[in-house]
Amino acid sequence: MSAGLNRLPGNPLTCPELVELATEHLEGALDAHTDRRVAEHLAHCPDCPRYVRQLLLTIELSGRTTDDALPEAARAELVELFARLHRQP
């Protein structure tokens, strides 16, 4: 246990536990007590804040990916279908 984490009172989270809880922490899905333990761990751990930062960057980068473009032929076919159905419901 690093010096920082060692000074925490009670039963501090370990780093692998922090990794397991990271998404629940980011989603606000943890109970108040556990969330406080996560915050305490992050305030003292030399490494886990970087892990969480990298998860946030991962989320941001995932948000910048885009779906494969629909081939023009497929799009045209579906629009033609719409036009046909709309003319003859």
Q: Rounded CA gap, 17 and 4, in Å? A: 17
Q: Rounded CA gap, 45 and 19, in Å? A: 12
Q: Rounded CA gap, 85 and 54, in Å? A: 48
Tell whether residue 15 is a contact of other proteins (CB under 8 A): yes
Binding other proteins (rule: CB under 8 A), the pick from 31, 32, 88, 89 is 89
CB of residue 85 vs other proteins: minimum separation in angstroms? 5
CB of residue 42 vs other proteins: minimum separation in angstroms? 13
| 48-67: contacts with other proteins (CB under 8 A) | 48, 50-51, 53-55, 57-59, 61-67
Tokens standing for residue 62: 């995932």
